[in-house]
Structure 1
Amino acid sequence: MEPAEYDLMDAAEERMWWYRALHARVTDALRRRPGPDGAVLDAGCGTGGLLRRLSALGRPLAGLDYHPAAAARAAAKSGVVAAAGDANRLPFADGAFAALTSCDVLCHRAVDPATALTEFRRVLVPGGTLVLNLPAYQWLRSAHDVRVHNDRRFTARQGRALLAAAGFAAVEARYWNALLLPLMVLQRKILRSDEAAKSDVAPFPPWLDATLHATTAIERAAGRAGLRYPAGGSILLVATRP
Structure 2
Amino acid sequence: MEPAEYDLMDAAEERMWWYRALHARVLDALARRPGPPGALLDAGCGTGGLLRRMAALGRPLVGLDYNPGAAARAAAKSGAVAAAGDVNRLPFADRAFTALTSCDVISHRAVDPGAALAEFRRVLAPGGTMVLNLPAYQWLYSAHDARVHNARRFTARGARGLLAATGFTAIEARYWNALLLPLMILQRKVLRSDAEARSDVAPFPPLLDAALHAVTAAERGAARLGLRYPAGGSILVVATRP
Pairwise TM-score range, normalised by the shorter structure: over 0.9
Deviation at 1:33, TM superposition (A): 0.1
Normalized against structure 1, the TM-score is what?
A: 1.00
Residue 150 of structure 1 corresponds to: 150
Q: Percent identity?
A: 83
Deviation at 1:2, TM superposition (A): 0.4
Q: What do the CA deviations read for 1:132-172 (whole angstroms, capped 9, x no partner)?
A: 00000000000000000000000000100110000000000
- Count the aligned residue pairs: 242
Q: What do the CA deviations read for 1:46-86 (whole angstroms, capped 9, x no partner)?
A: 00000001111111100000000000000000001100000
C-alpha separation in 2, matches of 1:219 and 1:172:
18
C-alpha separation in 2, matches of 1:74 and 1:2:
17
Gaps of 5+ in 2: none
* Paired residue type of 2:168: F
Residue 141 of structure 1 corresponds to: 141
Residue 193 of structure 2 corresponds to: 193
Deviation at 1:190, TM superposition (A): 0.1
* Paired residue type of 1:137: Y
Gaps of 5+ in 1: none
Deviation at 1:89, TM superposition (A): 0.2
SS at match of 1:232: coil
C-alpha separation in 1, matches of 2:21 and 2:205:
17
Residue 45 of structure 2 corresponds to: 45
Q: What do the CA deviations read for 1:81-120 (whole angstroms, capped 9, x no partner)?
A: 1000000000000000000000000000000000000000
Deviation at 1:210, TM superposition (A): 0.1
Q: State whether structure 2 residue 114 is matched by structure 1 residue 95.
A: no
Alignment of 1:50-129 (within 5 A): 50-129=50-129
C-alpha separation in 2, matches of 1:160 and 1:61:
26
> Runs of 4 or more off by more than 3 Å in structure 1?
none
Alignment of 1:200-211 (within 5 A): 200-211=200-211
* Paired residue type of 1:226: G
Deviation at 1:36, TM superposition (A): 0.4
Residue 215 of structure 1 corresponds to: 215
* Paired residue type of 2:70: A
C-alpha separation in 2, matches of 1:183 and 1:26:
23
* Paired residue type of 2:4: A
C-alpha separation in 2, matches of 1:197 and 1:88:
29
SS at match of 1:237: strand
* Paired residue type of 1:237: V
C-alpha separation in 2, matches of 1:56 and 1:138:
35
* Paired residue type of 2:72: A
C-alpha separation in 2, matches of 1:158 and 1:99:
22
Deviation at 1:207, TM superposition (A): 0.1
C-alpha separation in 1, matches of 2:111 and 2:42:
15
